[in-house]
Structure 1
C-alpha cells in the first residue's frame, strides 16, 4: 500500500474528455492524458484491501464482478505510486497480454468491485492501466520478448481478432511457431473494425502487431480459410489448429430489412467507416439524415458517436 491515507486525501480524477465541439469533428481518441503526479495520486487511492475484489472475477447474484483476467491491481497501483513503471509493467503483463487495448475499451469491472466505491468513488484502475503500458512504450520498456527455446511445434491460429492475437501471443511465448491467418487486410478483428477510432486508435493495434512479428509470430493476411486454403491443408502443415473466427453474423430484427429502406447492421456500418478512414477515402455523408439506432449498448453508442461525426441531423436511439 503506497500511501495509507491516499483514499482519504485524494478524490477520483478520471482522464478528461477532449472538448465536445473539438472531438465531434474528428475521429481522434476521446481522452486527454494527465500528469504523472496525478496518476501517482490516483494510484495512492488504492487501499490494498486484504481481499481485493477488484481482481477477483467472482460471481455474485448471477453477475460477474471484478477483473476477468485477475489483474494484480493493488500491486501495480503501488508501483505507480512509488514511480516504478518497470515493476508495474512486470505485474501488469503477468495477467494481461494487451493492456493498451483493455486500458482503452474495457468496461472496468474492476472499478465496479472496488471497495472505495462503497462509501465514495472507486479507484481509477482503467486509467492507471493505460498509463502503465503507454509509459512503458514511451520509455522503451516494451521490447520484443523472444522465446529462448523453440519447441519445433507449428500452430495455425485462424482469426486475428482479440482471442486470436491473445492465443498467438501465449503460444509464441511458450516456444511454439505460430502463424495467424486472417481474412481481412488488417489484424485486430473487432478491435480494428468494430470499435471506432476515437475509442481505440488503430495505430495502437498496428504497434502491437509489429511487436508480435518481432517476437516471431507470422501473419498471413487476406487469407480466408475454406476459400484460399482448406482446413485439410492446414492439418497437413501444422501440428495444431486453433479456431478464433469470431461471430460476424448479425442478429436481425424481424421485418426490418423488408419494410424499411436504408437499414445497416451496426458492425458493418462501423467497419465501413473505419475502412474509409484508414484508406483516407471520403467518409459516408449523413448530412440531412435522421438516424435511428436500435440498441443502447456499447455498439449502439459507438454507432451514435460515429453518426454524429458523419454529420447526421438527428439521432433517435431505442433501448
Structure 2
C-alpha cells in the first residue's frame, strides 16, 4: 500500500477548516497530522468539533508547535493576511501549499492592496502562485508548489463562463451581469452582528454593491480568457437566510450562432465536478449541498433573443472552498480527482 502524504491545516477552527477535516477524513491518500489554532491550542479537535468525535484524535497546536515543515502539504484556512506572512518559510522548506484565503489570488499587488486594505508581505510568492480554478488551470496546478484557492463567488461565476470565454463567444461592449446569492456561512465562523440568526434569518439583502472583494478576482479571470469583456462586468452579491449554498444568475450576450449548451457540455465532458444540465433546467442549491459539485444550466431570456441566462449553483464551503482545495491537492499530487470527494449531496 502506498504511504499516505501528511497534511497540515493552519487555522482549522473555522467553517472551511472543519470542512477540510471532514473531507480529508475519508481520503485514501492523506493523513492529517497537524492542525493549528492559536486561540484553541491544547484543545482536542473532537471536543471542539463534536461531529468529528471518533474520527480524529488530534489536538490543536500553535503553528510553532505543529512542525508544519514536516508536512507534504499545508492548507491555510486563515483570515486574509496570515498566509502571506507564514507561507514563504514553508515554501522554502519544500512544502506544497493550498491557500484558501485571498492572499495569492490577485496578481496585481497594487490592486490587492487597494481591495484588502493592507500591504502585501510576499509579492514574490504571488508571482509564483497558480490560481486554483481546477477546470481552468489543471496543468499548471499539477506542477505548482503554491496554489491560490479561488473564492466562492468567483468559482460559481467563472465555471459557467469559462468555456464560452475560451471560445471567444461573448459579445464585446455588452454588459455581463452576475446576480449572486450566498448562504450565511460565506461570512465565516466569527462573531458578527450581520450573521446572527435574528439578523440574517427571515431576511434577504444585497451587499457590497459599491464593490465586493471578489470583483477584481473575477475580472482578472475574465481578462485572462477574452479581451474586452471585464470592462462590462457587473457583480452584485446578496445574503440569503440559509447556511450553505451559492446561486449565480448571469446575464450575457453571445455572438450570433453560438450554441452555448453544446460548448459547455463538450468542455466539461470529462469534468467529474461540473454538471451541465439540460436547457430549461433550474439547478437548486440543495442539489449540491455537502458535495464538490457545480451544476449549470443556460437558456435564452424570454422575449429577448439577444440575452442568455446562466444559472450556476455550488456549496460555498465545498466547491467554493474546502472541496476545491482538496481537488487542487489531488491534482498537485497526482491522485484521482475525486479522491476524498465522492460524497453525494445531502437531502433534505
Query: Greater helix percent: which structure?
Result: 1
TM-score for both structures, normalised by structure 2: 0.25
Give the TM-score, by structure 1 length.
0.27
Where relative contact order (Cα < 8 A, 6+ residues apart) is larger, the structure is 2
Which structure features the higher share of strand residues? Answer: 2
Structure index of larger Rg: 1
